Amino acid sequence: MIIETKSYPRAAVIGNPSDGYYGKTIAFVFSNFAAKVQLYHTPELEIIPAELDTTKFLSLNKLVEDVTLHGYYGGERLLKAAIKVFSDHCKQCNIQLDNRNFTIRYSSDIPHRLGLAGSSAIITACMKALMAFYGISIPKPVQANLVLSVEVNELGISAGLQDRVAQAYETPVFMDFNEENMVRNGFGIYKELDAKKFPNFYIAYRHDQSEGSEVLHNNLKARFRIGEQKVIDAMKEWAGLTEQFYKAMQVNNSDLMHQLINRNFDLRRSLVEITPKNLEMVELARSVGASAKFTGSGGAIIGTYSNENIYKELQQLLNGKGIEILKPKICGYEN
């Protein structure tokens, strides 16, 4: 029997990047793309490489192009680290695993290194497959912690919990990472949200803006740790924006949600440098009346639009600049 699991890209609605700094965020996952893992019983344990794990290139230029767009590593290391963390967790919890081996492979069409949490989607799908194979259950908050530990502790990638929580729950989530609760319980306070209360969202991205989240997080974490007041104040404001957005959702105040999304980006811009092509996406979206902010660390944006005419105008404008745009199919939303 072949076990197949999926996990989806994450879009940060509001609050990012405060999730790694005891802040508050709202995020969802959407099924327009997916990371898939297949796992089946075999005599030996084997990890099968995927396209992004290739070591053969047509030319030197092709190698440089691949590294520029996808980084130095594919998903094979993610699976290897995820399997180790899963095994360690089971041992620590006295969960007995049988001696069966397996072959595991992955595939993903999530746009890579654009702030859509493609790497954690692969790890999350792997964790789901391992749980199904061994017939065990791990609580969703703990699942998110394990996925984060794969990247942070095993692979040395700077990241926060937001992506992993959204992918574990597969429904929109309000996340409160206040320090007291994180220290006491090891995870935040997570509240599942009704996607029907969201405004109209679009997501847009450009393939030539690939950048790993570690670039942003390494910079901010260093500044946060030394107590830079501007960074500390920004984290508090991002948390406040999340609270305001949640309240605006309850009363269907789309105008306020629009303003809060724009403020989220403007605050970010005051804190870190924004590359010209990333800034162009935001400015183009705002020029037709849409709101805009990053979905994650950069390369993709999310925003709201009030009607179909604005969306069509936005689509035409962005496509003319080589920028892809879509309406996210939000997981957890029942038509």
Which residues participate in catalysis according to the annotation? 163
- Token pair for residue 76? 């094979």
| Contact criterion met (CB below 8 Å) for 295 and 261 | no
Read off the DSSP letter of residue 203: E
Read off the DSSP letter of residue 238: H
Q: Give the closest residue to 328 by CA, choosing from 6, 7, 9.
A: 9
Backbone angles phi, psi at 113, to 5 degrees: 55, 40
Q: Which residues of 96-113 are buried (b: 16+ CB within 10 A; e: fewer)?
A: eeeeeebbbbbebebbbb
- Token pair for residue 300? 């993709």
Tell me the C-alpha distance between 173 and 151, whole Å. 21
Q: Which residues of 222-231 are buried (b: 16+ CB within 10 A; e: fewer)?
A: ebbeeeeeeb
